Amino acid sequence: MLFFSNKTHEPIRNLPKLLELYNSKGGSIVAFQHVVSIIFYSQKSTRYVWVPPNGSSVLRGLPDTLLTLLGGWWSLTGFFWTIEVLVKNLSGGEYVTRQILEATWGGDVERTRQALNEELAERRKHSLWSMFLFAGFIGLIALFWLVTTKTGEWKDRGKPGTVNGQVHAREGVGSPGNNSSAPSMRVKAIFYNRNGRSTAIVDGKTVSVGDRVAGYTVQAIEQQPISLQSPTGRTKVRHISNAEQ
């Protein structure tokens, strides 16, 4: 595990390359920042570059400066960050050579590369585990919703159907004061549509093909009649203002 990372606690992926350049050519390692923001979102990131001897650090930080000038102003936090970053970048950035050498065993490239690879592998492992936990959490929510829905359906099948606040007995079960084995349903209106989007008003409830009413499923809605099927497969046909046929 490296003891030196940028301010977002992310490993510096180009650190071995920076050390190779420094060890072979001298110069300095400089940190530059850039800001990107939009309304409520703001992000400040750090980029590390190698500056050769007698090189201009201001020019090396020019990409970060331009990016900040274009995209850093567009939120309240980004506005203040932009001022801070521009001042720092135009002053030549932050020289971090000494801190990096202290954190990388005096600039040991191979040891640093090995530590970086181990850290990146550990982060990937944690990312995969987090994704697995998130997927499991979503799966549990979906399972809970499915079980709850199915349980409600099973309970409804064992109870009389309710339409417009009135309880109607299901097929085969007589209701108090009614000797009919089928529920009484009155079709008040049919709105026929040749494109298959017809609807009807049954006992004050607007239904379409596939909907359920009083324990029956709407099979078809024609210009005059509406066909319904019970859970046992028994078919009923209703016309406007007729309770039975």
**Please, where in the chain does CATH 2.30.30 lie?**
166-239
pLDDT at position 99 is 94
Average pLDDT of the chain? 82
- pLDDT band at 163, cuts 50/70/90? very low
Does the pLDDT at position 19 exceed 80?
yes
With a CB cutoff of 8 Å and minimum separation 6, the contacts of 50 are 17, 18, 21, 22, 27, 28, 29, 30
The CATH fold assigned to 166-239 is SH3 type barrels. (2.30.30)
- pLDDT above 90: percentage of residues in the chain: 51
Max intra-chain CA distance, the chain: 104
d(CA 144, CA 122): 33
Residue 202, exposed/middle/buried by CB under 10 A (0-12, 13-18, 19+)? Answer: buried
Backbone angles phi, psi at 85, to 5 degrees: -65, -40
Structure tokens belonging to residue 84: 């801070």
Distance of CA 30 to the CA centre of its chain: 38
- pLDDT band at 156, cuts 50/70/90? low
With a CB cutoff of 8 Å and minimum separation 6, the contacts of 172 are 181, 232
d(CA 44, CA 155): 55
> How much is the pTM?
0.54
From the CA atom positions of the chain, what is the Rg in Å?
A: 36
Does the pLDDT at position 100 exceed 70?
yes
